[in-house]
Structure 1
Amino acid sequence: MKKILVTGSDGFIGSHLTEELVKSGKKVRAFVCYNSFNTWGWLDTLPKEILNEIEIFSGDVRDPNGVRKAMIGIDEVYHLAALIAIPFSYHSPDTYVDTNIKGTLNVLQAARDLDVSRVLVTSTSEVYGTAQYVPIDEKHPFQGQSPYSATKIGADRLAESFYRSFNLPVTIVRPFNTYGPRQSARAVIPTIITQLLSGTVEIKLGSLSPTRDFNYVKDTVSGFIEIAKSQTTIGEEINIATQQEISIGELAEELIRQINPNARIICDEQRLRPDKSEVNRLLGSNEKIRYLTSWKPEYPLECGLSETIAFFQKNLNRYKTDLYNI
């Protein structure tokens, strides 16, 4: 049986992916970020029967020696570990270079040396910047509109170079905006939901006009798994997108409708991105993933939001609803 390493397995998408791989009978080693509390992020919340099947490796993707040790005996790598918050990347770009670029390089180097049979490197729709045409396909130009997106562009191009230079079996997986249970409060959907559930009637947001293409996390996870099943995806970069868009303002109104129709939106200046940094439109093409795999999105936005709200209702105490989380 193939053995799979998931970096960033303690995070939002990574924990869902790890859980699904275990449920499907896969042998999984979960690379979690070392900390002195010995906490394993969202993996700590998984049922015991799932968690007991996972081999935990604590380390740091910035450490090449730890990454190499974690990858010994591994057949496939799903590389999700990254720093992702855009506002924090304005504050600490150095850490994004170290984690997103150097961390990816460490994974690629170890995979090459250890003859790993598949490497899936996680990208982001932010690498495209504001859409120059829609739907955005994989040939769309890249534009680093934040330090975060710039480092992800760098990581993607490193991954491409290892495929082209060393024939490493790499696929660049590019999810558009993923949401769902376990997402951090810095993302827009948890930001709105947690404010609403805390009883706030004035919902603080930044710009309302940008549009996004939202994937429910279970659809994103199934996209990763379907991409890994196919040999035709090696050497490719592939969007995971619904090919539908909604503005942040419309999204907020839908959440208000579902949770508290008496709430209203107000603009919070500190939540606004710099004008040239704000990505105004993201609408992804899913033509390529549909052609190369059997994947298709299963969760309409209204359904996914309903499941997400239910999670936050049960876990609101985990979130600091009175803060602007960057």
Structure 2
Amino acid sequence: MGRRKKGRKLSGWLVLDKPYDFGSTEAVSRLRWFAGAQKAGHAGTLDPLATGILPIAFGEATKTVPYVQDGRKAYRFTARWGIATTTDDTEGDITRRSDVRPDRAGIEAVLPEFTGTVSQRPPAFSAIKVDGERAYDLARDGEKVVLEARDIEVDRLTLLEAGEDEAVFEAVTGKGTYVRALVRDIAERLGTCGHVTALRRTAVGPFTEDDAVTMEEATGHPASIKLAPEDRDEARIDSVLIGTGEGLREHPQAPITPQDAFRMRHGQDAVLPPVQAKAVRGEQSGDIEPVLATLDGEPVAICRLEGLRLQPIKVFQLEA
């Protein structure tokens, strides 16, 4: 028999409004410990110096993490013109200066070039692996790191404010986009250099600021306070969790019968009535994935719909 995991079988999402100067892994570790949970993970790293939406999954909700990570992300950020840094944000050393300061008209004129499918070279200080090593570890050791450019998707890029030295933007992007690199490239296109001075993520997949709680709301203590065992309050964490299936609320859902739920939990397919299959598919054609199969509103399985056949991909365990 395998070793029994420590902790309780807690499932659901906690959408954290991550504070400044606090790492994503550190946030997950603290909340998992505070909740006494067996299993936890997050849906998309947020830089320590960034704030905003960090969705944290507990237990069965971790099965929906890949779908949340693949969702669109929204950011609000500030670019500082005339200074480039090693990290493309305020954490790094200054590498270059420029006296060029773009105006609003100049900035707005180039934004269409950074909307749609855009080729982007990730920052040297990133979590991308190079020969098994994180790029930021190599860069900190003084090695020259030049990562290959890759295509990203920028759905929307809007200039909100334009001052002499700084500009504030909002963006909606796809998976794998680095805002730091976006600012670096916009600055270069404008004939200057730049870096990010403030970054806030306002949405990840289905989760927005309306879903978010602060570390203090979740634990009763600010992130700056080191917690002791007597500070634990499992009921407090439970009160701010949202349902496991909420990670898939942007995707189609298929209510199923108790008999179909039983079959799915044993790895078997369900066959939907044609009218229901059409309703689940909506305007989409062909096979679709993911579809969330539910029983009385509770998640049963993440599925693929092929014709009328609903095929389970990941089945949620029943809560004890």
Please indicate the TM-score interval, normalised by the length of the shorter structure: under 0.3
Higher relative contact order (CA closer than 8 Å, sequence separation 6+): 2
Q: Normalised by the size of structure 2, how large is the TM-score?
A: 0.22
Determine which structure has the larger strand proportion and give its number. Answer: 2
Determine which structure has the larger helix proportion and give its number. Answer: 1
